[in-house]
Chain A
Amino acid sequence: DGGITQSPKYLFRKEGQNVTLSCEQNLNHDAMYWYRQDPGQGLRLIYYSQIVNDFQKGDIAEGYSVSREKKESFPLTVTSAQKNPTAFYLCASSINREVEQYFGPGTRLTVT
Chain B
Amino acid sequence: GDSVTQMEGPVTLSEEAFLTINCTYTATGYPSLFWYVQYPGEGLQLLLKATKADDKGSNKGFEATYRKETTSFHLEKGSVQVSDSAVYFCALTFTAQKLVFGQGTRLTINP
Which of A's residues lie within 8 Å of B, judged by CB?
Answer: 4, 6, 31, 40-45, 48, 50, 56, 58, 90, 92, 94-106
Chain A residue with Cβ nearest B31: A99
Which of B62-70, B72-80, B90-98 has 4 or more CB atoms under 8 Å from chain A? B90-98
Report the count of interface residues on B (CB-CB < 8 A).
24
Residues of A close to B99: CB separation below 8 A = 43, 45, 101
Contact with A along B4-44 (1 / 0, CB 8 A): 10000000000000000000000000001010100001111
Residues of A close to B49: CB separation below 8 A = 99-100
Q: Are B89 and A43 in contact (CB-based, < 8 A)?
A: yes
Residues of A close to B103: CB separation below 8 A = 40-42
Chain B residue with Cβ nearest A94: B96
Q: Are B43 and A90 in contact (CB-based, < 8 A)?
A: yes
Cβ 8 A contact of A42, one of B32, B97, B102 = B102
Q: Roughly how many angstroms separate A48 CA and B93 CA in the complex, as a whole number? A: 14
B58 at the interface (CB under 8 A from A): no
Tell me the minimal C-beta distance from B6 to chain A in angstroms: 8
Q: Are B43 and A99 in contact (CB-based, < 8 A)?
A: no
B82 at the interface (CB under 8 A from A): no
A105 with B43: in contact, given A41-B103, A42-B102, A99-B51 (CB under 8 Å)? yes
Q: Roughly how many angstroms separate A90 CA and B36 CA in the complex, as a whole number? A: 13
Q: Are A97 and B102 in contact (CB-based, < 8 A)?
A: no
List 5 tightest A-B contacts by C-beta distance, closest first: A42-B101, A103-B43, A103-B44, A105-B43, A43-B101
